[in-house]
Amino acid sequence: MELPKIKILDEFDKTLRKKSMEVKFPLSDEDKKTINDIITYLTMSQIKKYYEEYNLRPGMGLAFIQLGIPKDIFVIVEEIDEEKFENYVIINPKMISHSEELIYVGEGEGCLSVNRDVVGIVPRFARMRISYQDIDGNNCEIRVREDISVAFQHEMDHLNGILFVDKIDKKNPFKDKEKMREI
């Protein structure tokens, strides 16, 4: 596998604060190539052989805006078994509904655009339903829960110019922890 040449923007790049724009179909060949490059990059970043060889930080999600492209597209690559992955290509997502239950990632959220350790919890919905379009422009719906729900919310925030660090209370990084469930 060859590592794609993609440049992930750092959290201090103002581009990350832009709201992404709705995508029109059909997708351009360039957008399709970017989607495939992201899938390859995220997959390689989760396989020890590759992340050691290329000095990659493991990541499971990436939004187009993190590459400087303000389009409503994100990709999630979930390892479902050792070196077996499920890919989600989500275009023009909209939240339909969500649970009242809130969760947070116990070891803390990370982001390929945030190159530092961040302490604190990010409140997320335990479950949600999303409408979106697939790579061919078909209207789809998906129900996500637990860690995939967190990943979807994290990437959807990127599409709105929000970073996970924005959601951590600066004065009290563990605020309301007792009202949420750790995953």
Report the pLDDT value the prediction gives residue 55, as an integer from 0 to 100.
95
**pLDDT tens, residue by residue, 98-116:** 999 999 999 999 999 999 9
Q: Kindly name the residue from 53, 155, 178, 182 that is annotated as catalytic.
A: 155
Considering the entire predicted model, what is its pTM?
0.96
Q: Which residue has the tokens 């390859």?
A: 40
Domains defined along the chain, listed by start: 20-182 (3.90.45.10)
Cβ neighbours of 145 (radius 10 Å)? 16
Q: Tell me the sheet residues that pair with 97.
A: 129
d(CA 95, CA 28): 25
pLDDT band with cut points at 50, 70 and 90 for residue 16: very high
Report the pLDDT value the prediction gives residue 166, as an integer from 0 to 100.
97
Q: What is the distance in angstroms between the CA of the first residue and the CA of the last residue of the chain?
A: 32
Report the pLDDT value the prediction gives residue 85, as an integer from 0 to 100.
97
- H/E stretch holding 51: helix 48-53
- From residue 124, alpha-carbon distances to 4, 32, 146, 171, 172 in Å are 31, 30, 9, 19, 17
**pLDDT tens, residue by residue, 31-86:** 999 999 999 999 999 999 999 999 999 999 999 999 999 999 999 999 999 989 99
3-state helix, strand, coil in the chain (%, to 5): 30, 30, 45
In the residue annotation, 83 being an active-site residue is answered as no
Handedness of CA 134, 46, 71, 96 (dihedral sign): positive
